[in-house]
Amino acid sequence: MIAKEPPGPRSTGIRALAVIFLLSLAALAAVACDDSGKGGEIDIDGSSTVYPITAAVAEDFHAVAGDVRVNVAFSGTGGGLEVFCAGETHLSNASRPIEQDELDACAENGINDVLEIQVGLDALTVMVHPDNDFADCLTIEQLHEIFRTGGAANWSAVDASFPDQPIALYYPGTDSGTFDYFVEAIIKDVDEAANHRGDGTASEDDNVLAVGIGGDGDSIGYFGFAYFQDAGQSLKAVSVDGGEGCVAPSFDSALDGSYPLSRPLFIYTRESSLAEHPENPMLRFLEFYLDNATALVAEVGYVSLPADTLQEQQARIEPYLP
Amino acid sequence: MASEQLRLRAGGAVARRQLVSRVSRYLFLGATVLGVSILGFLAYDTIDSGASRLSLDFLTNYPSRFAEKAGLRPAMYGTLWLMLITVFSSIPIAIGTAIWIEEFAPRNRLLTIVKINLANLAGVPSIIYGILGLTIFVRFYGMDRSLLAGGFTLALMIIPMTVIASQEAIRQVPPSLRDGALALGATRWQAVRHNVLPNAIPGIMTGTILAISRAVGETAALIMIGGAAFIHFDPGPNLADFADPGGFWAGLNESFTVIPIQIYAWTLDSRREFQANASAGIIVLMTGVMALNLLAALIRERFRRN
């Protein structure tokens, strides 16, 4: 006797579920936008630091070129360059220059025309009270000692020649990118197990920090380079020694990489993906990127490039423009 | 007098046992209260900071650098399609594996090795599945950074969990049912199909839904295989594609983003308004997972009653 499933309530239940499922699938698809991406697709991956800039550009680019799909992911600088060199993305965000072994990996896959474009700077400035006459230049290790958990309580603990006065700390809130970058470059770089101390004045508002540092003779603090350029000039900027002598924070020292507390932000693409054809979506995107970089980079909280440096970047895509 | 004598108090070892029993009761109550209250606090905090951002616009807008304009739309499409692909590719394989192990496989050392491996695979960190997915689906099979590649990667991730849960469910079916069918001359498959599976389905459903709940919240593996955070279209096939197999296939090969990646992108943003967006995204995701669990409970009840 072969047991045949009687048409009972169980199978109606399954049938009802299947109908509900198909209906919801159809409803889902019905309201989906028919945005076919006929103008091309640009896949971008890489640094999560550069991501906000590129995503902002992509958002505004959509308004002027809705037929092009720009997809931005953020698997990190190294991860992004790896897939870029495997030919899986068209453009890669990076918070450091591409390394030789990455270029080698690119070349192995026949990618020999990597084009580097700088889009902005991520930099911070360490500030002290204008009357402070001893802290002209601090090393990375000294900054680490000042800002790590359980670090120096007095200036004299940082350097024997400094006065025996308490240190008052001012730093951006833990949510800010500046704080993240400081932790990465100063705290974790010296000692992976160390943490940023929490016994100072933290504020999301750079203005509060500037007023605090300016009103406290024992103060030391840091905030984004952009704010220093705008409004921090009344304070004293500390030069930083990353092992190769003291370097004062400035656009020039930040751009050429000699100032240790700055990192240039890049995007990488291929010359051949610019040269393909006149209505090239990548070319349109890059042109739009550089035309709007100054405003958008600043808007998402980084330092825009000076005009001459930006022009150098624009000159790199100039030959491909129609 | 007599009643007083009847009120006996245990002494010695018995008293100690009773004390341990009383204490353990409060200890376990404490454990429960601790876990639930932390969860409750997190839920309260999330709803408190995100509820104000919940609106129809939030569900229908695309990502944006302006917190008040940013929305979850492509992420919700991405998550829904990804889950469909994951479910349809993993469930048959997982249940098939469980049936083979429990009903057909010869009881030998090879089977033990397979079982141990499955248990180990269920504990492998998801990022490893991301690397596997990147190598196999994105690169070897050339699927690129598509919904299909993402769905298959998540399928790989939840298969071990689903197999183990299904095995448990099948094992709990009384052997008498199976043996009875076999004794009446049913083939192995008939016994499985008509006696074992119907009784195991509630348990299998529970395990499957739990596994899917994990896949819904998965972030690391999908970032690894290139799930984007900024996307300005609806991933997956649209209505016109249903009539056209080529278009449907193309839809499944589109780039994608999912709700957890979107939440992660918002938490990375230093601006405070985006933290509210992240919380609102978490509320949407939690609601979805709860709806899934509810659906599982309903289906389970339905099958139990029959």
Q: What per-residue string of b and e applies to A93-129 under the rule 16 or more CB within 10 Å gives b?
A: bbbeebeeebeebbeeeebeebbebbbbbbbbbbbbb
**Phi, psi angle pair for A33, to nearest 5°:** -70, 135
Is the pLDDT score of A204 beyond 80?
A: no
Shared domain for A46 and A105, answered yes or no, is yes
Write the CATH number for A233.
3.40.190.10
Shared domain for A316 and A228, answered yes or no, is no
Instruction: Tell me which chain A residues have a C-beta less than 8 angstroms from the C-beta of B186.
Output: 3
Q: Which of A35, A48, A54 sits opposite B233 (nearest CB)?
A: A35
Q: Residue A70's beta-bridge partner residues?
A: A42
Nearest residue in A to B238, CA atom: A29
Of A260, A277, A309, which residue constitutes the final position of a domain?
A260
In a domain, A80, yes or no: yes
How far is residue A289's CA from residue A60's CA, in Å, rounded to a whole number?
Answer: 9
Residue B255 and residue A71: Cβ atoms within 8 Å? yes
Report CA-CA distances (Å) from B302 to B91, B172, B186, B199: 20, 18, 27, 12
| Window from A222-236, A261-275, A306-320 with minimum mean pLDDT | A222-236
Q: Which residue in the block uniquely carries the two structure tokens 């509630």?
A: B202
In a domain, A37, yes or no: yes
Residue B180 has a pLDDT of: 93
Is the pLDDT score of B28 beyond 80?
A: yes
Shared domain for B36 and B107, answered yes or no, is no
In a domain, A26, yes or no: yes
Shared domain for A256 and A174, answered yes or no, is yes
* Token digits of residue A30: 């019905």
For residues A217 and A206, the model is more confident at A217
Total domains, chain A: 2
The residue among B211, B217, B226 whose CA lies nearest residue B137 is B226
How far is residue B207's CA from residue B167's CA, in Å, rounded to a whole number?
Answer: 10
Q: Which residue in the block uniquely carries the two structure tokens 């983003």?
A: B257
Residue A72 and residue B185: Cβ atoms within 8 Å? no
The model's pLDDT over A26-39, given as tens digits with 9 standing for 90+, comes to: 676 666 655 555 67
Residue B238 and residue A32: Cβ atoms within 8 Å? yes
At A72 the three-state DSSP class reads strand
What whole-number percentage of chain A has pLDDT above 90?
Answer: 34
For residues A301 and A52, the model is more confident at A52
Is the pLDDT score of B132 beyond 70?
A: yes
Shared domain for B64 and B80, answered yes or no, is yes
Shared domain for B22 and B35, answered yes or no, is yes
Question: Going by DSSP bridges, is the β-strand pair A69-72/A41-46 parallel, antiparallel, or unpaired?
Answer: parallel
Upper half-sphere CA count for residue A305 (Cβ side, 13 Å): 24
> What is the pLDDT confidence band of residue B196, given thresholds at 50, 70 and 90?
very high
Is the pLDDT score of B2 beyond 60?
A: no
Cβ–Cβ under 8 Å, residues A282 and A271: no
| Window from A26-30, A173-177, B203-207, B299-303 with minimum mean pLDDT | A26-30
Cβ–Cβ under 8 Å, residues A120 and A304: yes
Ordered alpha helix ranges (H), chain B:
2-6, 12-50, 56-60, 73-99, 109-121, 126-133, 147-171, 175-183, 188-191, 197-216, 220-224, 245-252, 259-268, 272-305
Q: Which of A1, A37, A204 sits opposite B272 (nearest CB)?
A: A204
Shared domain for A221 and A281, answered yes or no, is no
Residue A1 has a pLDDT of: 40
Shared domain for B239 and B102, answered yes or no, is yes
Is the pLDDT score of A228 beyond 80?
A: no
Question: Which residues, in sequence order, are CB contacts of B68 under 8 Å at separation 6+?
Answer: B273
Domain that residue A154 falls in: 125-260
What is the average pLDDT value for chain A, to the nearest integer?
85
Write the CATH number for B124.
1.10.3720.10
**Phi, psi angle pair for B221, to nearest 5°:** -60, -35
Shared domain for B158 and B265, answered yes or no, is yes
Residue B306 has a pLDDT of: 61
Shared domain for B105 and B184, answered yes or no, is yes
Total domains, chain B: 2
- What pTM did the predictor assign? 0.81
Shared domain for B27 and B104, answered yes or no, is no
Instruction: Give burial (CB, 10 Å; 0-12/13-18/19+) of A189.
Output: middle
Shared domain for A183 and A150, answered yes or no, is yes
Is the pLDDT score of B140 beyond 60?
A: yes
> What is the pLDDT confidence band of residue B226, given thresholds at 50, 70 and 90?
confident
Shared domain for B96 and B140, answered yes or no, is yes
Handedness of CA B151, B156, B158, B163 (dihedral sign): positive
Interface-testing mutation among B68, B81, B230, with chain A (most A C-beta atoms within 10 A): B230
> What is the pLDDT confidence band of residue B82, given thresholds at 50, 70 and 90?
very high
- Chain B neighbours among A 212-251 (CB < 8 Å)? none
Question: Which residues, in sequence order, are CB contacts of A99 under 8 Å at separation 6+?
Answer: none
What is the average pLDDT value for chain B, to the nearest integer?
89
What whole-number percentage of chain A has pLDDT above 70?
Answer: 89
* Token digits of residue B125: 């960190």
* Token digits of residue A91: 């453009």
Handedness of CA B90, B95, B98, B99 (dihedral sign): negative
Q: How confident is the model over B89-109, as a mean pLDDT?
A: 93
Shared domain for B66 and B25, answered yes or no, is no
Domain that residue B291 falls in: 54-305
Instruction: Tell me which chain B residues have a C-beta less than 8 angstroms from the C-beta of A72.
Output: 228-231
In a domain, A2, yes or no: no
> How many Å lie between the alpha carbon of B294 and the closest alpha carbon of chain A?
14
Complex ipTM, two decimals? 0.81
Is the pLDDT score of A42 beyond 70?
A: yes
Residue A14 has a pLDDT of: 65
**Phi, psi angle pair for B21, to nearest 5°:** -65, -45
Is the pLDDT score of A226 beyond 90?
A: no
Of A260, A276, A310, which residue constitutes the final position of a domain?
A260
Shared domain for A59 and A170, answered yes or no, is no
Residue A292 has a pLDDT of: 94
Interface-testing mutation among A38, A71, A90, with chain B (most B C-beta atoms within 10 A): A71
CB contacts < 8 A, A to B, total: 127
In a domain, A106, yes or no: yes
Please tell me if residue B236 touches chain A, with a CB cutoff of 8 Å. yes
In a domain, A3, yes or no: no
Shared domain for A229 and A178, answered yes or no, is yes
Please tell me if residue B17 touches chain A, with a CB cutoff of 8 Å. no
Shared domain for B239 and B192, answered yes or no, is yes
User: What proportions of chain A, in percent to the nearest 5, are helix, strand and coil?
Assistant: 45, 20, 35
Is the pLDDT score of B285 beyond 90?
A: yes
Q: Which residue in the block uniquely carries the two structure tokens 């024997």?
A: A160
Shared domain for A84 and A133, answered yes or no, is no
How far is residue A25's CA from residue B286's CA, in Å, rounded to a whole number?
Answer: 21
* Token digits of residue A218: 């024992």
How far is residue B17's CA from residue B31's CA, in Å, rounded to a whole number?
Answer: 21
At B6 the three-state DSSP class reads helix
In a domain, A290, yes or no: yes
* Token digits of residue B218: 């998965």
Q: Residue A123's beta-bridge partner residues?
A: A262
Please tell me if residue B224 touches chain A, with a CB cutoff of 8 Å. yes
Is the pLDDT score of B58 beyond 80?
A: yes
In a domain, A225, yes or no: yes
Shared domain for B128 and B246, answered yes or no, is yes
At A33 the three-state DSSP class reads coil
Q: What per-residue string of b and e applies to A266-305 under the rule 16 or more CB within 10 Å gives b?
A: bbbbbeebbeeeeebbbbbbbbbbbebbbebbeebbbbbb
Shared domain for A99 and A137, answered yes or no, is no
Of B51, B71, B89, which residue constitutes the final position of a domain?
B51
Residue B34 has a pLDDT of: 95
Question: C-alpha angle with apex B224: B281 to B77, nearest 5 degrees?
Answer: 40
Shared domain for B36 and B149, answered yes or no, is no
The residue among B97, B217, B99, B205 whose CA lies nearest residue B154 is B217
Shared domain for A237 and A272, answered yes or no, is no
Question: Going by DSSP bridges, is the β-strand pair A114-128/A262-270 parallel, antiparallel, or unpaired?
Answer: antiparallel
Shared domain for A234 and A311, answered yes or no, is no
Question: Which residues, in sequence order, are CB contacts of B82 under 8 Å at separation 6+?
Answer: B147, B150, B151, B154, B215, B256, B258
At B235 the three-state DSSP class reads coil
Report CA-CA distances (Å) from A57 to A50, A65, A300, B221: 11, 12, 11, 26
Shared domain for A183 and A253, answered yes or no, is yes
